[in-house]
Chains A and B, each alone.
Chain A
Amino acid sequence: MDGAFDIPDSTDWLNTPLNLLSTLENALHCQICKEFYDTPMTTSCCHTFCSKCIRTSLSTDGKCPACRTADQASKLRNNWALQEVVLAFLAARPAALGVARKERDALEEAKRGTKSGKRKRAVLDSDDVAQMEVEGRSTRRKSQRIAASHGSQPEAIDEVDDSDAGSTFEPEHEEPIDDGLVECPLGCGKRMKIEAVEPHLDRCEDERKQASRSQSRTPLSNGLHRLPNTNNSSTTKPQDRISEFNYSLLNETKLRKKLEEASIPAWGPKQLLIKRHTEWVNLWNANCDSSRPRSKRELLQELDTWERTQGGRAPGVNGLASSVMRKDFDGVGWANKNRGDFAKLIDQAKRKHGSPGTEGEGTGKNVDEAGQDGTTVKSLEGAGDIPPPSGQSARAGEENVEATDLFAPRRDESMTPSGEQHHDPHNNHTRRPSLPIDVTPAVAGSPPRKVPMFRLPEVPVRDVDADGHGGH
């Protein structure tokens, strides 16, 4: 009902009375993976990322992604407080979102003035209910009681007295009286309405991860989010972090031996061995950081996923897409269950922005037209690094002959169609956090000599700006 496809997103809050929560939710996202922090770690420069994210990043270029300060993985420190906040927010999110949506719908309903039959039933949308359900009903009920006793929203799954809404809520879907629920096909045990299955699949995996993370808590845990422990038996907690070392100091034989000792695959050329070992160290150490470490078997499975997507068994550049789309990608068929979403994303993009097919053709035509134009076709096909404008550009620049009439102000012309669509429909709540955008052209040596000419801020260029076009 909300959003074209129900990937939990900070924009879920927009258009509800709780829209400010989108800012809060964004603040709980890691800047690398753009998801809720998973085992947040703080760098020496006091920036925070998921453990695995920052470890991968540091092993790539040794710099903090937020401020580019050099740092080392060994200096990372857990941010337990933030982890608590994330878990508490996640625990409260479904109920809060349910209430927010209910309130929004009630307001809309009131606006339409269509008050239909008074029915007392679950007031929350099935999606939210499905999202709230966590493994083990008794635990859930317990945690909801705890939540309720802490002043959170009332239980949402069972009958709720909707007297607070001010109007009667009419559920969008007719709910069959006999429980026509189906079980999650991924086996998480939740039951939900058939329409809720697809949206649920997206969050099922994430939720289970979050759930398992929250099982073993920091000493400060308040127990609010404790969940049933289903597969503890396989857990052999890895204890010690692997210290990083300089791969260049090892020859291939010794390196291979290191991999064998770690009982990870030891085949392939040296570069691959280094990449694989680095990935393993990052997986391992991030797992050590976690308050809820996974078993070595699970880590090996993740390494295997890496192997198939980025490592030695990843197809070549051309076939990459198919590997990402493989059914077994990420172990749980993640890509497969998201396939529908890809299609929806693409569909939505098409509806939203007009036909992309035309756009593609347009691109092709760019070059065709260059050909028809006659003047530039040669340079377009010309070899070497010198770009086509050569020769001609000199004339255009020095004499301004051909180009002059092109300067004619074109403000009377309508803006490009796409340009007009881009009013921002929301306020700034979800605006991506801005980074210092570095538009320095990649060049070694000479300091950038920026010529701000295309904006023509102060320079009064009469020929061009007589119409006041440039001004500043």
Chain B
Amino acid sequence: MAAKRLIKELDAYHSDPSPAVAILQPADDGDLLHLTAVLLGPQETAYEGGTFTLTLAVPPNYPAAPPDIRFRTPCCHPNVNFKTGEICLDLLKGSWTPAYGLISTLEAVQQLLSAGGNPDSPYNLDVARLMREGDLVGAEALVRFYTRLYAWGR
């Protein structure tokens, strides 16, 4: 079921690309359960211009269980672990439903970036602290800095 649905999703993505996702494809030939995606930094945010590579590990019982999605391009966000790329997003955990797909999930990740996130469950203490203290200029500066450092021009 997992592989069959993934084929469907990839097919649908190719016929109808997502404005958020520049690339979605198997990481290597013949292995459908491990994919690579490139997410575009949302426009008019500090992530704009960034292209973020993510890896997706799809469990064999997908879509009953969510994919494991991680940033491989370092991403500065209160709910993204800068080092491991782990994403703290309900959708990827408790509130996953099989009606979601890889693309809608990646789009949700992009929305998480533009929404600014929740500094009260930080995966990134620094940017979370700036946000909690209300230093939005500082937080945005930090995000821009890292986006430019790691995610530009690829």
Interface on A for B, CB 8 Å cutoff?
Answer: 3-5, 7, 9, 11, 14, 31-35, 53, 56-57, 60, 63-66, 68, 309-310, 314, 320-321, 323-325, 329-330, 334-335, 338-339, 341-343, 345-346, 348-350, 352-353, 356, 359-360, 362-363, 365-367, 369-370, 373, 376, 380, 382, 385-390, 393-394, 396-398, 400, 402-404, 406-407, 410, 413, 415-416, 418-419, 421-422, 424-426, 430-432, 434-435, 437-443, 446, 448-456, 459, 461, 463-464, 469-472
Q: Contact mask B132-154 → A, CB, 8 Å, 1/0?
A: 00011111111111101111011
Whether B111 and A397, one on each chain, are in contact in the complex, defined by CB atoms closer than 8 angstroms, is no
Which A residues are CB-close (under 8 A) to B78? 441
Which A residues are CB-close (under 8 A) to B89? 439-442
Whether A345 and B121, one on each chain, are in contact in the complex, defined by CB atoms closer than 8 angstroms, is no
Whether A403 and B144, one on each chain, are in contact in the complex, defined by CB atoms closer than 8 angstroms, is yes
Whether A416 and B22, one on each chain, are in contact in the complex, defined by CB atoms closer than 8 angstroms, is yes
Whether A432 and B101, one on each chain, are in contact in the complex, defined by CB atoms closer than 8 angstroms, is yes
Whether B99 and A32, one on each chain, are in contact in the complex, defined by CB atoms closer than 8 angstroms, is yes
CA distance A397 to B36 in the complex (A): 32
Can you name the residue of chain B whose Cβ is closest to the Cβ of A420? B22
Interface on B for A, CB 8 Å cutoff?
Answer: 1-5, 7-12, 14-19, 22-26, 29-34, 36, 38, 40, 42, 44-49, 51, 53, 60-61, 63-65, 72-74, 76, 78-79, 81-83, 88-95, 97-101, 103-104, 107-108, 111-121, 123-127, 130-131, 135-146, 148-151, 153-154
| Interchain nearest-CB distance for B96 vs A (Å) | 8
Which 6 A-B pairs rank lowest in CB-CB distance, beginning with the nearest? A397-B138, A418-B22, A387-B82, A443-B121, A393-B126, A321-B31
CA distance A33 to B3 in the complex (A): 11
Known: A321-B33, A451-B131. A60 touches B60 (CB 8 A): no
Known: A342-B30, A461-B137. A369 touches B119 (CB 8 A): no
| Interchain nearest-CB distance for B11 vs A (Å) | 6
CA distance A64 to B98 in the complex (A): 9
Known: A32-B99, A389-B82. A438 touches B5 (CB 8 A): no
Which B residues are CB-close (under 8 A) to A57? 64, 97-98
Which B residues are CB-close (under 8 A) to A363? 53, 72-73
Contact partner of B26 among A346, A389, A430, CB < 8 A?
A: A346
Whether B23 and A387, one on each chain, are in contact in the complex, defined by CB atoms closer than 8 angstroms, is no
Which B residues are CB-close (under 8 A) to A359? 23, 36, 38, 53, 154
CA distance A9 to B26 in the complex (A): 20
Known: A7-B11, A352-B14, A453-B116. A435 touches B100 (CB 8 A): yes
Known: A324-B2, A416-B40, A463-B137. A422 touches B18 (CB 8 A): yes
Whether B118 and A440, one on each chain, are in contact in the complex, defined by CB atoms closer than 8 angstroms, is yes
CA distance A388 to B76 in the complex (A): 9
Known: A345-B14, A459-B136. A443 touches B88 (CB 8 A): yes
Contact partner of B137 among A367, A394, A416, A464, CB < 8 A?
A: A464
| Interchain nearest-CB distance for B129 vs A (Å) | 8
| Interchain nearest-CB distance for A32 vs B (Å) | 4
| Interchain nearest-CB distance for B107 vs A (Å) | 7
